Amino acid sequence: MERTFVMFKPDCLERGLLGRILSRFEEKGLRLVAMKMLRVTPSLARQHYAEHASKPFYPSLEEFITASPVVATVLEGPEVIRVVREMLGATSGLKALAGTIRGDYSSSRQMNLVHASDSPESATREIDIYFLPAELLAWDPSLACWFQAPSEV
C-alpha cells in the first residue's frame, strides 16, 4: 500500500468538477485517508511548488493556485502514485489523452484541475506540508476485499 497527495485545484472547484473527479478515484478503488478544503496562500504555494519557483510561469501559477479554495486529499492504494498520475494524464490538458481526467476536462497547461505527487519522496513532502499525522485516517472499507485479492495488498 502506498499514499499520494492529490489536490483539487481552484479551476476544479470553480467549475463544479470536484465530485465528478473524486468519483473517478473512488470508483477505481482508491481509498481516501485525508481531506480538507483550504485557501492556498502565496507562501504555501512557494513551499509546495518550490521546484517551479524560478520558472517563468511561476507568478501566473501562484496567482492561479491562490485565486479560489482547493481541496487537499491523501489517497491510498497499491502503486497509487503511478496509478493517479496515469489517471490524470499529461500535465497539459491539450496533450493529455482522451479518457484521462485532464484529457476529458482540461484544455490548459496551467488549469489542469488536479495536482498529484510524482514520486514517493514528493508524496511524503507534500502530505507533510498539508496534513498533520493525526489528520491521516487509516481505515479498512468493508468492500476492500472486492477490489484486490489478499495476495495483492
Give the binding site for ligand CMP (CB under 6 A): 52, 57, 60-61, 91, 109-110, 112, 115
The burial class, CB within 10 Å (0-12 / 13-18 / 19+), for 143 is exposed
What is d(CA 32, CA 52) in angstroms, rounded to the nearest whole number? 27
What secondary structure letter does DSSP report for 41? Answer: -
Q: In angstroms, give the least distance from the CB of 49 to ligand CMP.
A: 6
Q: In angstroms, give the least distance from the CB of 65 to ligand CMP.
A: 8
Q: In angstroms, give the least distance from the CB of 13 to ligand CMP.
A: 14
Give the active site residues: 115
Of residues 118 and 147, the one with the C-beta less far from ligand CMP: 118
What is d(CA 75, CA 139) in angstroms, rounded to the nearest whole number? 12
Residue among 135, 125, 130, 121 at smallest CA distance from 70? 130
Residue nearest to ligand CMP (CB): 115
**HSE-up of residue 82 (Cα within 13 Å, Cβ side):** 3
Of residues 28 and 109, the one with the C-beta less far from ligand CMP: 109
Of residues 73 and 112, the one with the C-beta less far from ligand CMP: 112
